[in-house]
Amino acid sequence: MSAPAENHSLYHNLKLGPLTLEGNLVLGPMAGYTDRAFRALCSDAGASMTCTEMVSTEGLVRDSRNTFNLLLVSPLERAPAIQLFGSEPGTFAQAVRRIPSGRFAAVDINCGCPVPKVVKTGAGAALMTEPLKIAQIIRAVRSETDLPVTIKIRTGWDDRSLTYLQTGELAQDAGAAAVCLHCRTRSQFYTGRPDYAAAAKLKAALDIPVIVSGDLFTPADVKNVLMQTRCDGAMIARGAIGRPYVFSQTISLLQTGAFTEPALKHKTGLFLRQLELMAADRGELTACREMRKHVPFLLKGIPGSARVRQACSVAETIESYKQALGSL
């Protein structure tokens, strides 16, 4: 099947300053989900870039062991980025000095996390009320690294404070290599319809790449929003939980106009591979308990899976998961 003409330009390499990504589909950072086991599977499925869970600049500066544990990367990751959150330019600069040399391909600055415990410190989406500070942070980070520096932002704090255009322009002037826009305000959190028109406006206003984010759960979602906004790339986050193969499906759709649904055995095989990779990092018991939250995403839409979901909710060994999933 030949690809429709409009699909050819939707999937392409993406240049972030000195870095060229193979493709333009990025795995978004998600606290509690994007550990290196999950990132490895997404990379293997075609994710062009992966992002760590949010890493605290304060934690790096204070040599927090838990913080440094977030910096593990997999050899399968094509272009791993470290995502930093914090509120002060000086602390960002100090934190960047502590990033292990040669491990990451880019540094991303979180200006979009809506979680109250992050926002109350002046970090995450709180920075959308201070576009000038975001520019200061970018300059502080760039002063300490030759890696491309990107930012992830929202449209603003609320509908009365839409600062994404100003932020994007200031970020570009400060030397950012790309801007990723989650097309919601902080007040929306993850509810309501994303304002993809904002991404189109930001793309039209900037010369650096713009990556669109927000409610991209299926290959069709990605294709439609890329066609609508003409953004340079797309970030898939929640849409990849339990479905790392969404990246290969999306690449197929953008390149050929069609994609296939993996067999159930393939899906459960990926789940078990992720479990085993996580167990190698964190121990079998911890991994088994952590993977329970991935189960509903894996089993969504599968008839008669309630019994399997229940079995997985108490599984504490890899073998228990294998037996439960093998009964599907």
Contacts of 295-300 with CB under 8 Å at 24 or more apart are 295/242, 296/242, 297/241, 297/242, 297/243, 298/242, 298/243, 298/267, 298/268, 298/271, 299/242, 300/242
Tokens of 321: 């998961």
Token reading at 181: 């826009």
Q: In this structure, are residues 209 and 233 in contact, taking their beta carbons and an 8 Å threshold? A: yes
Q: Which amino acid is at 84?
A: L
DSSP notation for 290-305? HHGGGHHHHHTT-TT-
Task: Give the helix ranges, DSSP H, for 129-178.
Answer: 131-142, 164-174
Question: For 101-130, where are the alpha helices, taking DSSP H only?
Answer: 116-119
For 238, the token pair is: 């929640």
Q: Is 51 a catalytic residue?
A: no
Active-site hit among 51, 111, 113, 312? 113
Q: What is residue 75's DSSP assignment?
A: T
Can you tell me the distance from the alpha carbon of 292 to that of 6, in angstroms, rounded to the nearest whole number? Answer: 40
Residue located via tokens 């890696």: 147
- Rounded distance between C-alpha atoms, residue 273 and residue 318, angstroms: 10
The catalytic residues are: 113
